[in-house]
């Protein structure tokens, strides 16, 4: 049954305009970003990049940009087709044909949407991994590893996602002031998951081997003590199982922290460079960035659940407008959750601009901390340049792309700041 559009349906118009503006903005940002790509190697990068590598980075940016535009356009087309063909109402009715229990209906509805979205994204993920990343020498994943990762992801979604979703739906169906209790439930759930993830979830996808005794491990432990960082264990992660790209991170809550270095990172960087990278990661902890982001995330979640309560209130005008806009007659928490996420996407993009600006500020602060604690800025600068060159990153991204999406400052800005530090 086709969705009948009404000129007076304000919510339909708002959502449509928002989605199209967001889609168009992404295309404009992508085009400007490609135009900003330098034709010659920036002098600051001449020691890690030659013209041939710059041309490869340019080609990688072009191919990735074209792929992202195609994927975002296909996603928007699928959403609009499903929407205007009455897909949300049909799927809600289909889920209700199995049960009259609100939680069960909601789980069926959301699971089918999740599986449909997963199937839709699968060809794009395969092409990105085995064509684009393979072409530019990044992919190390085999079809077997790719398939196993997907199956593990679906299993985790069932084991973790279904109970979490069931709890949220039950609260919204049965509890007064549901948004408040749902927020508390999700917050506690996320904190527990964050605590357990390093030992229970991450090892399902990667192998974490204790770093062997030696000068590097001793230096890392000494750095942790110097920084007052409660380091518990140091691991090497088999990042080369899937990609040639390198990284490092720390995990854990409370007084016990674990540091993990990709094996690909250790292969390509000197000991001083690795210490600079780790000092940067420790800097996020010592500068209070982790706690700040955690608190802001919790407050953001409260605002989202408050608005979600409005979007699922069967007696509220906002919920009625939202459901009418998507052609669904019965107001319910499970449908409201999906419609609210669609409505929230453009708003989240705009709010993300502020979050990214804040994150870039944190990156500068962590860089300065690393330079201070290691006593020199050159090793971290060299590490950042090598990482950028190895990842074929854009050396001089456009201001609009940085403004919209960059959680880290552009490389040349970081190098300038490190020199001053």
Beta bridge partners of 262: 237
SS (H, E, C) 21-44: HHHHHHHHHHHHHHHCCCCCCCHH
Tell me which of 313, 367, 382, 390 is the catalytic residue: 367
Cα 227 → chain centroid: 28
Asked if 29 and 401 touch (Cβ cutoff 8 Å), the reply is: yes
Closest CA to 404 of 351, 364, 365, 344: 351
Closest CA to 247 of 388, 378, 370: 388
Cα three-residue angle 38-247-257, rounded to 5 degrees: 145
Residue 305, SS3 per DSSP = helix
- Residue ranges of the annotated binding site for Zn(2+) are 280, 284, 363
Asked if 303 and 295 touch (Cβ cutoff 8 Å), the reply is: no
Asked if 322 and 343 touch (Cβ cutoff 8 Å), the reply is: yes
- Residue ranges of the annotated binding site are 280, 284, 363
CA distance 84 to 226: 60
Examine the residue annotation and report whether 128 is marked as an active-site residue of this protein.
no
Tell me which of 92, 133, 281, 390 is the catalytic residue: 281
Examine the residue annotation and report whether 390 is marked as an active-site residue of this protein.
no
> Hey, how many other C-beta atoms are within 10 angstroms of the C-beta on 288?
12
Asked if 19 and 78 touch (Cβ cutoff 8 Å), the reply is: no
Q: Which token pair is 29? A: 């940002």
Catalytic residues: 281, 367
């Amino acid at each position: 049954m086709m969705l009948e559009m009404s000129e007076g349906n304000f919510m339909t118009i708002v959502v449509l305009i928002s989605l199209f503006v967001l889609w168009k903005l992404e295309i404009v940002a992508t085009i400007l970003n490609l135009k900003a790509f330098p034709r010659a190697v920036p002098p600051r990068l001449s020691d890690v990049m030659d013209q041939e590598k710059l041309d490869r980075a340019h080609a990688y940016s072009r191919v990735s940009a074209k792929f992202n535009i195609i994927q975002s356009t296909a996603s928007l087309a699928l959403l609009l087709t499903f929407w205007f063909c009455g897909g949300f109402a049909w799927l809600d009715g289909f889920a209700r044909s199995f049960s009259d229990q609100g939680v069960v209906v909601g789980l069926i509805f959301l699971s089918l949407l999740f599986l449909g979205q997963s199937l839709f994204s699968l060809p794009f993920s395969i092409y990105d991994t085995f064509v684009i990343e393979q072409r530019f020498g990044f992919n190390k994943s085999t079809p077997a590893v790719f398939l196993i990762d997907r199956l593990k992801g679906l299993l985790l979604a069932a084991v973790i996602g279904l109970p979490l979703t069931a709890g949220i739906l039950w609260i919204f169906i049965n509890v007064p002031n549901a948004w408040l209790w749902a927020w508390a439930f999700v917050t506690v759930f996320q904190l527990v998951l964050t605590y357990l993830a390093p030992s229970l979830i991450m090892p399902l996808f990667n192998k974490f081997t204790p770093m062997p005794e030696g000068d590097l491990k001793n230096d890392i432990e000494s750095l942790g003590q110097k920084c007052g960082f409660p380091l518990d264990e140091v691991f090497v992660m088999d990042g080369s199982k899937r990609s040639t790209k390198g990284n490092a991170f720390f995990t854990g809550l409370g007084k016990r922290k674990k540091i993990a270095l990709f094996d690909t990172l250790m292969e390509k960087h000197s000991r001083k460079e690795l210490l600079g990278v780790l000092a940067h990661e420790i800097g996020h902890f010592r500068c209070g960035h982790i706690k700040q982001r955690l608190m802001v995330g919790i407050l953001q979640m409260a605002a989202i659940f408050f608005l979600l309560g409005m979007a699922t209130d069967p007696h509220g005008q906002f919920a009625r407008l939202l459901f009418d806009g998507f052609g669904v007659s019965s107001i319910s928490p499970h449908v409201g959750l999906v419609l609210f996420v669609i409505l929230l996407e453009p708003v989240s993009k705009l709010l993300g601009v502020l979050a990214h600006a804040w994150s870039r500020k944190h990156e500068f602060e962590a860089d300065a901390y690393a330079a201070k604690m290691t006593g020199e800025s050159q090793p971290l600068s060299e590490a950042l340049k090598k990482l950028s060159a190895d990842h074929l990153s854009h050396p001089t991204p456009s201001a609009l792309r940085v403004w919209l999406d960059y959680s880290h400052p552009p490389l040349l800005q970081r190098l300038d700041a490190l020199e001053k530090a």
